[in-house]
Structure 1
Amino acid sequence: MGRLRSLQYLKLSSNSFSGKIPTNISHCIHLRVLDLRINAITGSIPDNLRSLMSLNHLELFRNNLTGTIPNWIGNFSSLKGLLLARNNFHGSIPSELGRLTSLEVFSLAANHLVAVNQLHGELPRNLGINLPNLENFYCGGNKFTGTVPASLLNSSRIQILDFPSNGFTGTLPAENLGTLRSLVSLSFAENSLGNRKTDD
């Protein structure tokens, strides 16, 4: 695989591949799409893949991957799709992912029947500012806490915000919701959102 130096598209989704991601993929430095979705791949995302600086799409959805999300993914300036859902990742979202200014689809959601991402912590405050091209953001079924970043509601291209089954608190910045003219789906079900009333 590593000898295919001119390879730009590697699509192996919906098979029965197991074991770890081959580290020699890192030699395919012109790779634009790495699609390993819906397999039985284990282990962590190998650090060698940091050399794939031309990636537009990194699709590892629905495997058995573990470990944390590498911060060096934030160096993939051309990345438009980052699909990491339905794995066993833990930890928080690296702040370096805020550099992915071309990102359009960001999926971290879990599926309890397959595997459960155990991502936690608060979402970065400047998420919506740093990811101006974000259209779809899925992070349901994790352990995120804190308030929903108001900056996220400033992303004019957002079409889908899917955040169910987390631990978000506080209120949604209602004054910003009306500016999301492209929004077609909004889900914050099964969180702890709300506004406690006080007596005048």
Structure 2
Amino acid sequence: MNNLTQLMSLQLASNSFVGNLPPDVCSGGLLENFTARSNFFTGPIPQSLKNCSTLFRVRLENNQLTGDISDALDTYPNLNYLDLSYNKLHRMLPARIAQYNNLTLLRISNNNISGALPSELGNMKNLNVLDLSTNHLSRGITKGLAKLKALFELSLENNEFTGSIPPEIGTILTLRSLSLSKNRLVGPIPKQLGNCIDILSLNLSGNELHDSILVEIGSLRSLGSLDLSGHSLVGEIP
């Protein structure tokens, strides 16, 4: 692809391609849209993408890509959409991911990411969707996420998070979907979640929460799906 120096959009989705992604995919330095989802690509994400300051949209989900997640991430000032889900990327999320100031969707679910969530994630002010589910993330859920005031969807289920649910999450009034299920979270359900009056789906199942179901949860007028199964909750249902 060395000769495609004027290439601005490359879409290879939903085929049966195998092997590595093209190493010179951004040889012209003009690429804005790179979609290669739902194939059988293996190996690391090409280093040449790090020269693509023009990238706006990257969709590489549903492949078998491997390597250190931090090697796949660099400063793409215009990046708006990044989906790397359903691959085999590993190691820790780097703090520099917060440099994606224009990112509205970040989905890296179903990989092998580990370690703690960087608090710098809270600096991604335009983020609407954050999906890091089904990885090996651990330690506490950072309070820095509360700074994501444009967030619609927060999915952290099926990880290894410990500690309590940060009450600060209840200050994200834009939330429509919150899933923290299948972790190792303890303590009560924070009453501040009752502030998220427009939330449609709330899934806290499969943790070790206790105490009663708060009256505030019962006042979530838009709630269409609530899953609190698998805890030690007591008392009456409000």
Q: Tell me, yes or no, if the aligned pair for 2:109 and 2:131 is still in contact at 8 Å.
A: yes
Aligned to 2:91: 67
Aligned to 2:40: 16
1:99 corresponds to 2:123? yes
Q: Segments of 4+ in structure 1 off by > 3 A? A: 46-49
Q: 1:179: how far off? A: 2.2
2-side partners of 1:69 and 1:177: how far apart?
Answer: 27
Q: Tell me, yes or no, if the aligned pair for 1:21 and 1:46 is still in contact at 8 Å.
A: no
Aligned to 2:157: 140
Aligned to 2:205: 189
1-side partners of 2:114 and 2:75: how far apart?
Answer: 23
Aligned to 1:124: 142
Q: 1:46: how far off? A: 4.6
- Identity value in percent: 30
Question: 1:86-130: CA deviations, max 9, x gaps?
Answer: 0011101011111111111001111xxxxxx111010112422x1
2-side partners of 1:195 and 1:179: how far apart?
Answer: 19
Aligned counterpart in structure 1 of residue 77 of structure 2, from 27, 35, 53: 53
**TM-score for both structures, normalised by structure 2:** 0.76
- Unaligned runs of 5+ residues in structure 1 are 111-116
Question: 1:44-96: CA deviations, max 9, x gaps?
Answer: 12547413121111110000111111111111111111101000111010111
Alpha-carbon distance change, 154 to 51 in structure 1, aligned in 2, over 3 angstroms: closer
1:171 corresponds to 2:188? yes
Q: Tell me, yes or no, if the aligned pair for 1:65 and 1:89 is still in contact at 8 Å.
A: yes
Q: 1:136: how far off? A: 0.3
Aligned residues: 189
- Unaligned runs of 5+ residues in structure 2 are 1-24, 213-234
**TM-score for both structures, normalised by structure 1:** 0.89
Q: In structure 1, give the amino acid aligned to 2:124.
A: L
2-side partners of 1:150 and 1:51: how far apart?
Answer: 31
Structure of higher RCO (CA pairs closer than 8 Å, 6+ residues apart): 1
RMSD (Å) for aligned C-alpha atoms: 1.6
Aligned to 2:3: none
